[in-house]
Structure 1
Amino acid sequence: MFDSTPGQSDSPVAACTVDAVHRRDHHHVGEESCHPHRVEVVHLGHRAIAVCHDCGQDSGFIPERDADQLATEHRTETATADPSSFMPHVA
């Protein structure tokens, strides 16, 4: 996962979807975050994007199964108080 950037997709529909999902982000006071992190998977056709509402990062549009797997892995990693960074583990 990486910080959301406007250049992730050439598709206006995909770009609007990413923007809408990121607007649902919730914020905590200071460095506090949910444990596990709140990760949402949004499907668009046969692709999906995993968005962490605590980190503010996303996977970009990847195959649906990969997005679901990445979201599950991130929730597991962040179940402790000291999560590792949200990096993609699936290609």
Structure 2
Amino acid sequence: MSYVIAFYEVDKAYGGPEEGGWWFDTGTLVRVFAVSRSETRANAIARRANGLLARLQRSKRSVGSVLYDGGRHEAHVYENTAPAHFPDTRPHYE
């Protein structure tokens, strides 16, 4: 088994009008960064990458801001292959 560390540009998408409106996290694949045979190692690489990204992106608006215009990135770990987008299916309000 292999674990893929991939960078995603993150955003929020409107979920629906229930309870005054709700939003969910989305991501678009930017690039695959690394592949590891160890899940522990892959998670360590992603944590380090996210720590560096947090420092580099300090001046960018938060994804939750109405003024957010893109440009925030995060590292995510997946088994075998990184999806082009997340989530796979649009969530439903419960």
State the TM-score, normalized to the length of structure 1.
Answer: 0.30
Which one has a bigger Cα radius of gyration?
A: 2
Higher-strand-fraction structure: 2
Query: Structure with the greater relative contact order (CA < 8 A, sep ≥ 6): 1 or 2?
Result: 2
State the TM-score, normalized to the length of structure 2.
Answer: 0.30
